C-alpha cells in the first residue's frame, strides 16, 4: 500500500512540469501585447514599456522565461500582475470561495446522484427509473449557462429566495444555488453511472449468493451491491473535482462570484500571462491531487488493486 | 444388489440409507422406510421468464421429492431448467423469472407464493446454497471470513467474537488448511478449490436442512472436484443435511445421489433410484445422456485402421516435400519438443525485493506423430497450457526447443513463422472469449483466409460454407453473431476457424472443458472424424482423463511442470505407473457404475482384465465406439446435427 501511494506521488512530478510547460507555451504565443494595452487609449511611453517588459522578463526567450517563472514559484513567489497587485494575495481571497462552491457541487452530485442512481438501478425499467433517466437527459442537454440564468431569474428575480448577484464574501447559503448549478451536469452523469453499475452488480452471482445466505435486502444492497458499484463512480467524482474548478468560470461569471474562475477569466482578457499560468497550474495541481485521492480510495475499496505489482 | 451396488469408491458413512433406497427399487414417492414425510415436495412446478420476445417457459410441470437427509440429483444439459427449478425453491430466480404454477412444499408448507419475510426466514437457516462458479460467487471486496460471518449474524447463529470463532471452525470443517489466516484473506488470494470450500462453509454455516448444490464443482479440476465432493458428502451425511445436487454429469450424479431426476427442456422426463435409472433408462434422452457421458463409456473413438491409413498418407506427403537446409530429420514426427523449460520471474512487492524464479515447465520432451493425438494431462498449474503456448510460439522457452516439421521454431525467419501460423492452429477453452463478438460468423471464419491471402472473395465464401458444413453448422449462421449461438455452436465456429487454413497440427487447450457432456461428445466426435478424414495431428490439453480416453493415442501426465508419466493411452488407463496418475484416474466420476448393456468397469484392479480384452480386437472396439446404446436410428436424440 505504501508503495502504491509513493508511486502515485512520484507520478505527479512529470505531470506538474508537463502541464506548466504546456500552459506557459500557449500563453506565450497568445495574440496581443498586454503591456501596450495597459495604458488603454493613451499608450505608455516606450521607456516605461521597456522597463515593464524587463521587469516581467517578457524580453527574454521562451525557455528562459519559463525557467525564471519556475524558479520564482519554488521560492514561494507567485509574482504580481502588470498593474502591480500581488497574485498570491488575490488568489488567497478567491480560492476559498471557489473551494466552497466546489464542495457544494460535489456533495450535491455525489449524495443525490448516487442515491437516485441506486434507486434507479435497483428498479430498472419502472416509472421511477424512467423519470430519473429523463431528468438526467434534460440536465445534460441544457447548457450550464442556460440553467444558471434560469435559476438566477426564477429564484433570484421572481421568487427572491436568493440574491441575484452573490458579490464579495459570500456565505454558504448564498452559494447553494450556484453550487447546484455547477454540479448539475455531473449529478446527471453520476446518476447514470451509478444506475448502470448498480444494475450490473445486482445481477452478479455473488449478490445472489449473499441473498441465499439469508441476508436482508438492505444488507445485500449496502454491503454487496453499493460498495462494488461505487468504484467507477468515485473515479468519476474525483476527476470531476478538477473539472468543477474549471467549470466554475461560467457559473462564477453568471452569479458574479469573485472566485478562481472569475479571476482566470479576468486574467485571460487582460493578457496577464503570469496570472493565467499560475491559476491554471493551481487547477492542474488540484486535479492531480484529486486523482491521487481517488487512486488511494480505489485501492482501499478494492483489495485486488493493492496487489497489482505481484503479477 | 449390494454386490453390484458399488455406487462409489468412497467410504459410505451411512450404508443403511443406501441399501434401503436400492431395495425400494421404486421412485421415492412410493414410500421410504427411514422418513415418511418429505422435506421438499415440488408438484407441477411451472417457471416462466418474461423476455422482450414474450414469455418463455423454463420449467413445465416439474415434480420432485427430497426426503430429510437424502441426496437427490437433477441431471440435464444447460437450458434444461435444472438450475431454474432449484433456484425457484428459495425465490432466487432472476428478476424476469417467476413461478407461474404448481406447489413447492417445504417441511409441509407451500412456499411457492411465500412473502419476502417468510422466504428470508428460510434462506440460509433452512435452505443453504452452494453455487456453481467459485470465481464469481464471492464478493471480491470483502474478506472471506466476513462473508461467512454475515451468514451467521443474519441467521442469528452467533455474533461478534463468537461469530469470528465460528467462522474459523466452519472453514476448518470445510477442509481449508490454516483457517485462521484464510478467514482474513480476500477471495483473490484463494484458488478455485479453496473458494469452493469457503462457499460450502457459507452454505452450511447456519446448519440448513436442505442444501442446494448447483454444479458445485464443474469449474474445478477433477482431483479437486473429487476431494470437494467427498468432503461435501461427508459433511452433509454427518450433519444429516438433505442435498439437491444439480449437475450435467450423469456419472457424477449417479455416484453422489440416491435418487436421480432427469430434466430436458423444462420437463422432468425420468426419475428414479440412481442405479435403476442408469441400468434401465426408459426415456430416450436419458439413454442419450448415458451414451454421451465420457466418464461412463470411454473408448477411443473412430476406427484404428482408417486412421492408420490417413496417417500413412499424411506421412508420405510430408516426406515428399523437399528437405530444406537446416531441417532436422524428425521422421514421422510433426512436432518434437526437446527439454522444454520455461521460468517465469515473480516480482516482489517492494522495488528492492528480488524476483523469485518460478519454473512453470521443467524439462519436458515429447514427439507428436503425424495423424495422431497426444494428450497433455494435469491439474491447473501443472504447466500444460504453458507447453501449448510454447508449441504455438506464443511464448519463448527459457531453454530447450520445439521443432515443427524438422525446423526449430526459435530460428524461423518471419516468412517461415507466417507459414507456421498457417500450419499450426489453436483452439482455446472458452468459446465465449475467443471469438470476437463484433465479427459475424462469416467474418470470423474468413479472417484467417483473408490474412493469408487465400482465394478470391467468392472462393472464400465457398470455403467458409464448406468449413461450416464440416463442423455441422448450417450455412444460415454465416450472417449471425456469436451472441446468437450456443456455447457448443461457438466452439464449432472456433474449430471451423482453426481448420480454415488446412493446418497440419491443431493445439486444443481445454477445447471441450467448458461444454456440456452432450455437446462435448459431439465436438470430440467431430475432431476425431476430421482427424481420420484430413490426417490432422492434435495436441490435446485437458484436466479430464475421461476425455483423453476418447481422443488420445499418447498421454503425457504433467505435475508441477514435469512429465511424470508418458505412455500410450490404454496403458495409462489400465496400468498407471505413477501415484499421481492413479489419483487423476480415481477422480473420474462414476467409473465403477454398471450401465445399461455395458460391462462393469469396476475398480481399477478389476477393470484391467475386461478392458484389455476389448482393446485387443479392433473390430470389437469399433463396435464399442458409439457407446452402449447401439440403436442409433431409433433414438431421436442422436440424429440431430446441431445442438
Residue-wise pLDDT for B490-544, tens only, equals 888 998 999 898 899 999 988 877 677 777 887 788 888 888 888 889 999 988 7
C-alpha cell at B77: 444439459
Answer yes or no: are the C-beta atoms of B543 and B509 closer than 8 Å. no
Q: Do B124 and A301 touch (CB under 8 A)?
A: no
Strands (E), B67-96: 71-75
List chain A residues with CB under 8 Å of B199. Answer: 209
Identify the domain containing residue A215 by its residue range: 87-310
**Mean of pLDDT values over B338-361:** 80
> A208 to chain B: nearest residue by CA?
B92
Instruction: Tell me how far apart the terminal alpha carbons of chain B are, to the nearest angstrom.
Output: 38
Q: What is the CATH number of domain B15-134+210-280?
A: 3.40.50.300
Cβ of B140 and A219 within 8 Å? no
CA dist., res. B238 & res. B225, Å (int):
20
pLDDT in tens, B69-83: 899 999 987 778 888
Domains of chain A: total: 1
Between B387 and B545, the higher pLDDT residue? B387
- The set of cell numbers assigned to A289 is 491531487
Is the entire prediction scored with pTM above 0.80? no
Q: How do residues B384-440 score in pLDDT, each as one tens digit? A: 888 999 999 998 999 999 999 888 988 888 898 998 999 999 998 777 778 888 899
- Return per-residue pLDDT of chain A as tens, 311 residues: 677 778 878 888 888 888 888 888 887 777 777 777 666 677 778 888 888 777 777 777 888 888 888 888 888 777 777 777 788 888 888 888 888 888 899 999 999 999 999 999 998 888 999 999 999 999 899 888 888 888 888 887 888 777 777 777 777 888 888 888 889 999 999 999 999 999 999 988 899 999 999 999 999 999 999 989 998 898 888 888 877 877 788 888 888 888 888 888 888 887 787 788 888 888 888 888 888 888 888 878 888 776 544 33
φ/ψ of B640, rounded to 5, equals -60, 130
Confidence of residue B549 (pLDDT cuts 50, 70, 90): confident
Q: How confident is the model at residue B323 (pLDDT cuts 50, 70, 90)?
A: low
What's the pLDDT tens digit per position in A132-155? 999 999 989 988 888 888 888 888
* pLDDT value of position B444: 93
Q: Which of B199, B202, B350 sits opposite A3 (nearest CB)?
A: B350
> Residue B594 above 60 pLDDT?
no
Is pLDDT at B635 greater than 50 in this prediction? no
CB–CB contacts below 8 A, A to B: 95
What is the reported pLDDT for A255? Answer: 86
Closest alpha carbon to B595 in B220, B234, B216, B299: B299
Give me the residue from B92, B140, B150 closest to A208, CB to CB.
Answer: B92
Percent share of chain B, pLDDT over 70: 79
On whether the CB atoms of residues B481 and B440 are closer than 8 A, the answer is yes
Which range (B237-246, B306-315, B601-610) has the least confidence?
A: B601-610
pLDDT at B614 over 50: no
Residue with cell 459433511: B235
- Considering CB atoms only, which of A205, A215, A303 is closest to B137? A205
Cβ within 8 Å, pair B136-A204: yes
Residues 6+ apart with CB under 8 A from B616: none
Does the beta carbon of B123 lie under 8 angstroms from any beta carbon of chain A? yes
Q: Answer whether residue B89 shows pLDDT above 80.
A: yes
For residues A309 and B218, what is the distance between their CA atoms, to the nearest angstrom?
31
pLDDT at B319: 61
Those residues whose C-beta lies under 8 Å from the C-beta of residue A237, and which sit 6 or more positions away, are A106, A109, A110, A186, A190, A294
Which helix (H) or strand (E) segment holds residue B106: the answer is: strand B97-106
In 3D, which of A282, A258, A85 has the Cα closest to residue A166?
Answer: A258
How far apart are the C-alpha atoms of B519 and B18, rounded to whole Å?
32
The whole-angstrom separation of Cα A49 and Cα A43 is 9
Residue B109's CB is within 10 A of a number of other CB atoms, namely 12
Whether A79 is covered by a domain: the verdict is: no
3-state secondary structure of B59: strand
- Alpha-carbon dihedral sign for residues B412, B415, B418, B420: negative
Q: Would you call B154 and A209 a contact, using CB atoms and an 8 Å cutoff?
A: no
Q: Distance between CA atoms of A213 and A230, rounded to whole angstroms?
A: 23
**If you average pLDDT over every residue of chain B, what do you get?**
79
CA distance B500 to B509: 18
Q: Do A212 and B129 touch (CB under 8 A)?
A: yes
Q: Would you say B124 and B205 are in contact if contact means Cβ atoms under 8 Å apart?
A: yes
The answer to whether A209 and B202 are in contact (CB under 8 A) is: yes
Question: Of B569, B587, B100, B36, nearest to B301 (Cα)?
Answer: B569
Q: How far is A284 from chain B (nearest CA, A)?
A: 29
Joined together, the cell numbers standing for residue B223 give 482431483
- The confidence score (pLDDT) of residue B303 equals 52
Using CA atoms of A229, A234, A239, A240 in order, give the dihedral in degrees to the nearest 10. Answer: 90
* Domain membership flag for residue A30: no
Q: How confident is the model over B174-196, as a mean pLDDT?
A: 87
* pLDDT value, residue B622: 34
Residues of chain A in contact with residue B142, where contact means CB-CB under 8 angstroms, are: 223-224
Q: What pLDDT digit, counting tens, does each position of B437-494 carry? A: 889 999 999 999 999 988 899 999 999 998 888 887 888 888 888 877 777 788 889 9
Q: Length of chain B in residues, anyone?
A: 643
Candidates A283, A259, A242, A275; CA nearest to A24 is: A275
What does the alpha-carbon distance between residue A139 and residue A32 come to, in Å, rounded to a whole number?
Answer: 38
CATH of residue A92: 1.10.3720.10
Q: How many other C-beta atoms are found inside a 10 Å radius of the C-beta of residue B567?
A: 17
Question: Is A36 contained in some domain?
Answer: no
Asked whether residue A18 is domain-assigned, the answer is: no
Give mean pLDDT, residues B204-220: 86
Instruction: Examine residue A176 and state whether it is found in any structural domain, yes or no.
Output: yes
- Total length of chain A: 311
Where exactly are the structural domains of chain B?
15-134+210-280, 304-639
Report the CATH superfamily, name and number, of domain B304-639.
Answer: P-loop containing nucleotide triphosphate hydrolases (3.40.50.300)
* Cβ atoms B77, B248 nearer than 8 A: yes
B120 → closest Cβ in A214, A224, A303? A214
**Interfacial A residues in 204-243 facing B (CB < 8 Å):** 204-217, 219, 223-224, 227-228
- Whole-number pLDDT of residue B308: 65
Same fold, B15-134+210-280 and B304-639: yes
The pLDDT, as a whole number, for residue A153 is 85
Single out the residue of B291, B278, B229, B252 nearest to residue B589, CA to CA: B252
Q: How confident is the model at residue B632 (pLDDT cuts 50, 70, 90)?
A: very low
CA dihedral angle for residue B220, residue B224, residue B226, residue B231, rounded to 10 degrees = -110
With an 8 Å Cβ cutoff, is B170 touching chain A?
A: no
Q: Is residue A28 situated within a structural domain? A: no
The pLDDT of residue B103 is 92
Contact status of B354 with chain A (Cβ, < 8 Å): no
Written as nine digits, the cell of A149 is 440564468
Cβ contact A213–B133 (<8 Å)? no
For A286, A287, A289, the CA distances from A9, given in Å and listed in that order, are 13, 13, 9
**Which one of A214, A221, A305 would you mutate to disrupt binding with B, by most B Cβ within 10 Å of its Cβ?**
A214
Distance of CA B511 to the CA centre of its chain: 10
pLDDT, tens only, B132-164: 888 889 999 999 999 999 999 999 888 889 999
The rounded distance, in Å, linking the Cα atoms of B360 and B355 is 15
State mean pLDDT over B621-634: 32
Q: Cβ of B133 under 8 Å from any chain A Cβ?
A: yes
Q: Does A126 touch chain B (CB under 8 A)?
A: no
pLDDT > 90: percent of chain B: 31
Contact (CB<8Å) B151/A214: yes
Instruction: Identify which has the larger pLDDT, B13 or B39.
Output: B39
Chain B (176-235) residues lying within 8 Å, Cβ to Cβ, of chain A: 186, 188, 199, 202-203, 205-206
pLDDT for B542 equals 86
- Strands B373-377 and B554-559, sheet pairing: parallel
What is the residue whose three cell numbers read 455441422?
Answer: B472
Amino acid at each position: 500500500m505504501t508503495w502504491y501511494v509513493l508511486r502515485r506521488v512520484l507520478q505527479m512530478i512529470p505531470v506538474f512540469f508537463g502541464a506548466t510547460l504546456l500552459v506557459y507555451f500557449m500563453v506565450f504565443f497568445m495574440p496581443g501585447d498586454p503591456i501596450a494595452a495597459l495604458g488603454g487609449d493613451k499608450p505608455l511611453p516606450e521607456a516605461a514599456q521597456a522597463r515593464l517588459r524587463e521587469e516581467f522578463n517578457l524580453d527574454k526567450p521562451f525557455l528562459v522565461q519559463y525557467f525564471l517563472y519556475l524558479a520564482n514559484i519554488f521560492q514561494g513567489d507567485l509574482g504580481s500582475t502588470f498593474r502591480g497587485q500581488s497574485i498570491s494575495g488575490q488568489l488567497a481571497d478567491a480560492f476559498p470561495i471557489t473551494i466552497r462552491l466546489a464542495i457544494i457541487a460535489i456533495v450535491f452530485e455525489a449524495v443525490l446522484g448516487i442515491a437516485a442512481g441506486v434507486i434507479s438501478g435497483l428498479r430498472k425499467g419502472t416509472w421511477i427509473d424512467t423519470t430519473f433517466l429523463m431528468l438526467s437527459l434534460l440536465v445534460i442537454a441544457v447548457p450550464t449557462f442556460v440553467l444558471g440564468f434560469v435559476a438566477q431569474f426564477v429564484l433570484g428575480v421572481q421568487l427572491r429566495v436568493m440574491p441575484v448577484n452573490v458579490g464579495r464574501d459570500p456565505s454558504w447559503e448564498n452559494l447553494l444555488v450556484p453550487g447546484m448549478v455547477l454540479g448539475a451536469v455531473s449529478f446527471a452523469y453520476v446518476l447514470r453511472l451509478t444506475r448502470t453499475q448498480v444494475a450490473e452488480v445486482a445481477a452478479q452471482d455473488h449478490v445472489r449468493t449473499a441473498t441465499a445466505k439469508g441476508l436482508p435486502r438492505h444488507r445485500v444492497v449496502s454491503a454487496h451491491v453499493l460498495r462494488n458499484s461505487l468504484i467507477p463512480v468515485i473515479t468519476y467524482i474525483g476527476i470531476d473535482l478538477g473539472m468543477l474548478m474549471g467549470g466554475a468560470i461560467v457559473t462564477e461569471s453568471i452569479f458574479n462570484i469573485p472566485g478562481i474562475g472569475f479571476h482566470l477569466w479576468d486574467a485571460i482578457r487582460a493578457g496577464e500571462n503570469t496570472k493565467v499560468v499560475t491559476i491554471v497550474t493551481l487547477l492542474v495541481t488540484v486535479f492531480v491531487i484529486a486523482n491521487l485521492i481517488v487512486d488511494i480510495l480505489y485501492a482501499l475499496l478494492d483489495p485486488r488493486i493493492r496487489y497489482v505489482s505481484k503479477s | 444388489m449390494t454386490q453390484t451396488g458399488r455406487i462409489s469408491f468412497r467410504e459410505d458413512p451411512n450404508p443403511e440409507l443406501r441399501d434401503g433406497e436400492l431395495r425400494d427399487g421404486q421412485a421415492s414417492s412410493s414410500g421410504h422406510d427411514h422418513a415418511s414425510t418429505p422435506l421438499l415436495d415440488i408438484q407441477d412446478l411451472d417457471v416462466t421468464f418474461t423476455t422482450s420476445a414474450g414469455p418463455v417457459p423454463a420449467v413445465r410441470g416439474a415434480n420432485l421429492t427430497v426426503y430429510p437427509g437424502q441426496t437427490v440429483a437433477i441431471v440435464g444439459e444447460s437450458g434444461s431448467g435444472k438450475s431454474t427449478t432449484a433456484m425457484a425453491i428459495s425465490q432466487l430466480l432472476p428478476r424476469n423469472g417467476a413461478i407461474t404454477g404448481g406447489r413447492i412444499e417445504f417441511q409441509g408448507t407451500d412456499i411457492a407464493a411465500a412473502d419476502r419475510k417468510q422466504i428470508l426466514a428460510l434462506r440460509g437457516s433452512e435452505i443453504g446454497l452452494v453455487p456453481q462458479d467459485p470465481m464469481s460467487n464471492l464478493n471480491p471486496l470483502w474478506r472471506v471470513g466476513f462473508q461467512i460471518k454475515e451468514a451467521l449474524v443474519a441467521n442469528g447463529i452467533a455474533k461478534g467474537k463468537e461469530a469470528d470463532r465460528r467462522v474459523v471452525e466452519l472453514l476448518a470443517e470445510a477442509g481449508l488448511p490454516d483457517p485462521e489466516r484464510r478467514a482474513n484473506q480476500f477471495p483473490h488470494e484463494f484458488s478455485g478449490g479453496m473458494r469452493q470450500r469457503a462457499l460450502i462453509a457459507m452454505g452450511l454455516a447456519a446448519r440448513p436442512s436442505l442444501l442446494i448444490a448447483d454444479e458445485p464443482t464443474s469449474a474445478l479440476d477433477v482431483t479437486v472436484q473429487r476431494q470437494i465432493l467427498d468432503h461435501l458428502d461427508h459433511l452433509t451425511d454427518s450433519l444429516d443435511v438433505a442435498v439437491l445436487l444439480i449437475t450435467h454429469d450423469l456419472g457424477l450424479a449417479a455416484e453422489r445421489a440416491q435418487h436421480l431426476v432427469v430434466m430436458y427442456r423444462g420437463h422432468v422426463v425420468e426419475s428414479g433410484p440412481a442405479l435403476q435409472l442408469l441400468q434401465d433408462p426408459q426415456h430416450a434422452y436419458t439413454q442419450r445422456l448415458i451414451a454421451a457421458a465420457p466418464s461412463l463409456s470411454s473408448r477411443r473413438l473412430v476406427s484404428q485402421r482408417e486412421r492408420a491409413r490417413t496417417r500413412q498418407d499424411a506421412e508420405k506427403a510430408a516426406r515428399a516435400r523437399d528437405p530444406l537446409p537446416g531441417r532436422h530429420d524428425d521422421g514421422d514426427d510433426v512436432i518434437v519438443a526437446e527439454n522444454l523449460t520455461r521460468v517465469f520471474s515473480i516480482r516482489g512487492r517492494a522495488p528492492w525485493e528480488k524476483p523469485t524464479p518460478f519454473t512453470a515447465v521443467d524439462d519436458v520432451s515429447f514427439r507428436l506423430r503425424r495423424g495422431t493425438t497426444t494428450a497433455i494431462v494435469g491439474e491447473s498449474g501443472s504447466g500444460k497450457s504453458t507447453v501449448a503456448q510454447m508449441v504455438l510460439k506464443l511464448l519463448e522457452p527459457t531453454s530447450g526447443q520445439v521443432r515443427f516439421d524438422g525446423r526449430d521454431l526459435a530460428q524461423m525467419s518471419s516468412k517461415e513463422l507466417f507459414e507456421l501460423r498457417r500450419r499450426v492452429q489453436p483452439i482455446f477453452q472458452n468459446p465465449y472469449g475467443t471469438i470476437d463478438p463484433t465479427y459475424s460468423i462469416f467474418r470470423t471464419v474468413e479472417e484467417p483466409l483473408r490474412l493469408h491471402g487465400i482465394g478470391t472473395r467468392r472462393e472464400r465464401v465457398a470455403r467458409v460454407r464448406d468449413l461450416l458444413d464440416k463442423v455441422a453448422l448450417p450455412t444460415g449462421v454465416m450472417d449471425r453473431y456469436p451472441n446468437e449461438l450456443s456455447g457448443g455452436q461457438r466452439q464449432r465456429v472456433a474449430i471451423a476457424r482453426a481448420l480454415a487454413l488446412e493446418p497440419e497440427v491443431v493445439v486444443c487447450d481445454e477445447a471441450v472443458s467448458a461444454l456440456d457432456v452432450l455437446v462435448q461428445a459431439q465436438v470430440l466426435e467431430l475432431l476425431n472424424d476430421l482427424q481420420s478424414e484430413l490426417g490432422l495431428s492434435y495436441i490435446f490439453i485437458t484436466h479430464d482423463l475421461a476425455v483423453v480416453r476418447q481422443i488420445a493415442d499418447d498421454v503425457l501426465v504433467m505435475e508441477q511442470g514435469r512429465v511424470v508419466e508418458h505412455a500410450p493411452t490404454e496403458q495409462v488407463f489400465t496400468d498407471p505407473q505413477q501415484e499421481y496418475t492413479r489419483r487423476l484416474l480415481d477422480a473420474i466420476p462414476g467409473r465403477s457404475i454398471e450401465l445399461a448393456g455395458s460391462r462393469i468397469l469396476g475398480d481399477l484392479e478389476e477393470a484391467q482384465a475386461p478392458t484389455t480384452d476389448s482393446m485387443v480386437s479392433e473390430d470389437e472396439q469399433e463396435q464399442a465406439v458409439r457407446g452402449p446404446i447401439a440403436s442409433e436410428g431409433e433414438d431421436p436424440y442422436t440424429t440431430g446435427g446441431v445442438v
